[in-house]
Amino acid sequence: MTPAWMVALETSLVASDEDELATALVVLASVAGERIPLEPEHRLGATRRALLLLTAGGDPTRGLDLNGQAVTALAEDLRDTDRQIALEEGIRELAPAASGLPHVSEAVHALIHAPDVAWRAYACSLLAEDLGDE
């Protein structure tokens, strides 16, 4: 059964622009990364450093960029082999649920075939979550 959030994501992608696709990649990576082993202290330190980079770059409330300095720095700070593998497995597990949803399915396959983008999308989801908490 396809989860309701995936159906909603498909609906938003049907009438979307490029920004919505980036948001979809972040959402998918976030869900796929839920089981990534990440110590709270390590995450907190890494996201704080990324937030400082974001603030130093200007307005911290502007949208996050998958290729921006804060996101890429956070991605590199948190990346290790076990975490990368966990994310890739999580993304592959999303593929069956996405069948029948052409836009979501395409986004899942894009993440499968671009592990660096998937990892930055995951890092972006962590940074967005922390920004939302503040």
If you write DSSP's letter for every residue of 75-133 in order, what string do you get?
Answer: HHHH--HHHHHHHHHHHHHHHHHHTT-HHHHHHHHHHHH-HHHHHHHHHHHHHHHHHHH
Instruction: Return the pLDDT at 63.
Output: 67
**33: amino acid identity, one letter:** G
Instruction: Return the pLDDT at 131.
Output: 80
Instruction: Return the pLDDT at 86.
Output: 97
The closest alpha carbon to 7, from 91, 100, 87, 117, belongs to: 100
pTM for the model = 0.91
Instruction: Return the pLDDT at 56.
Output: 80
Instruction: Return the pLDDT at 81.
Output: 95
Kindly list the distances between the CA atom of residue 86 and the CA atoms of 50, 53, 68, 94, 128, in Å, as whole numbers in the listed order: 22, 27, 24, 13, 20
Cα 119 from Cα 134, distance rounded (Å): 23
Instruction: Return the pLDDT at 72.
Output: 94
Instruction: Return the pLDDT at 132.
Output: 74
pLDDT along the chain (134 residues), means of 10: 92 81 94 93 91 74 80 95 96 96 96 97 93 67
Cα 131 from Cα 11, distance rounded (Å): 26
